[in-house]
Structure 1
Amino acid sequence: MKHVTKWIVSGIGLLGLTLFATMTASAIEKPEFEQLVKDGKMEVRKYAKIHIVSTSMEQEGQRNSAFRKLANYIGKGNDKQQKIKMTAPVIVDHSHKKDKADGAKVTMSFVVPKKVVEAGIPEPTDPDVKLSVIEGGKYAVTSFKSSNSEKARQEAITELRAWIKEKGYKEKGAPSFAFYNPPWIPQALRTNEVWIEID
């Protein structure tokens, strides 16, 4: 009987955690898009311009430091001392790997909320934090688990690129990763995506 009770409690706990993870992901503002194609895990989405606040890091292992800088910006670390709501996804962009001008190899970005864009985006007070935009366009997208696994990330890229080639699309840029959940959500319950811009 004790084993049965323990199993029920564990099941309820997992269900509650799943519901919490789902509610957390769905409650946060995300960029709007039009879904053009849906093929199993694969999608083509059309995004409008996305305003972002970004900071660079030399490698993936510096994600915590980069996240803290961006969290400081939305926590009043800006010229208006304005507290800004957290959004999703956190975008990690590898397209700057060969940018020798500033030495940046990887860029982490938060999406600026729509209301903040409309009212005027505050300037960062940290010189390592910059405002920029992701231009609107069409993106091939797929989801994957284990955001902390380099193997999982690379397998997702390989799978998406194979699908892009199969469908006759043409890549326009390097892959970006989109992470939708806070770090306390277990890996198995997280929503992670790869985005590749296409023609």
Structure 2
Amino acid sequence: MMNTPQSFLRRKPGWLGITGSAVVALLAILSSVAAALEQPSYKVVSSDGPIEIRQYKDMAAAEVTVAGDRSAATRKAFRILFRYISGDNQGSNKIEMTAPVRQQAAPAEIAMTAPVTQKPVGNGEWRVAFYLPSEYTVRTAPQPDDNRIRIVNVKGKKVAAIRFSGMWTDRNFNRHLQTLEQHLSKNGLKVAGAPIFAYFNAPFTLPTFRRNEVQIPLSR
């Protein structure tokens, strides 16, 4: 029989003095800690269940472009960007973590800026970014030692966002992307950019406690 984390905890209730239920409780607490991280400032224009139309303000971000599929690109970029906020920068400044991590794909000829999110840029590449705390601007943010990292200004924009939990699988993200696209089509809202994938929690967070989002930029 294959060992799962749950079965291991059942067999080893005294492992490190932590029971299975205590581990679940601990992960729930860590999830709430993630929710307390600073996030980009926005105003909710309208909402419909898990879908919100938001107006964001400008915010600085550290961004890197990496190649690979969505999941592999996220892991690779996270390591690069985490070193930057951990002190791999001019002045060796420690920078507070924010949420979400942002990932987005976009046509290669269009210059994009993005927060901790993920976005495709063509040729199997993605732009992944960490939003910086609001105390920083592009001019005042510590300059990275790694020349792959860019400090960018994420322009305030209107976006449609759908919030959901679960695994960081393509199937899960694509299912919610389709729901969001159907909502936009039904309500006559015009898309102004490629979808953005946003991750609000650490990878060790149980899927049930994760906050994920797909966001789509809209025309004003």
In 2: Cα distance, 1:27 partner to 1:63 partner: 22
The letter of the residue matching 1:74 is I
In 2: Cα distance, 1:26 partner to 1:129 partner: 26
Q: Which runs of 5+ in 2 are unaligned?
A: 1-12, 14-18, 111-120
2:179 maps to 159
Deviation at 1:13, TM superposition (A): 4.9
1:37 maps to 46
Identity over aligned residues, as a percent? Answer: 25
1:3 maps to none
**Shift in alpha-carbon separation, 1:10–1:69, aligned structure 2, 3 A:** closer
CA contact (8 A) 1:96 1:105 kept: no
SS of residue matched to 1:85: coil
2:216 maps to 196
What are the equivalent positions in structure 2 for 1:45-56 lying under 5 Å apart?
45-56=54-65
| Higher helix fraction (1 or 2) | 1
TM-score in terms of structure 1 length: 0.86
Q: Which runs of 5+ in 1 are unaligned?
A: 1-5
**Shift in alpha-carbon separation, 1:95–1:119, aligned structure 2, 3 A:** closer
1:25 maps to 34
CA contact (8 A) 2:61 2:154 kept: yes
Query: Is residue 2:200 matched to residue 1:180?
Result: yes
In 2: Cα distance, 1:178 partner to 1:36 partner: 19
TM-score in terms of structure 2 length: 0.78
In 2: Cα distance, 1:31 partner to 1:38 partner: 18
The letter of the residue matching 2:187 is K
Deviation at 1:78, TM superposition (A): 1.2
> What RMSD in Å do the two structures reach over aligned CA positions?
2.5
In 2: Cα distance, 1:51 partner to 1:132 partner: 6
What is the aligned residue count? 192
Deviation at 1:64, TM superposition (A): 1.8
SS of residue matched to 2:136: helix
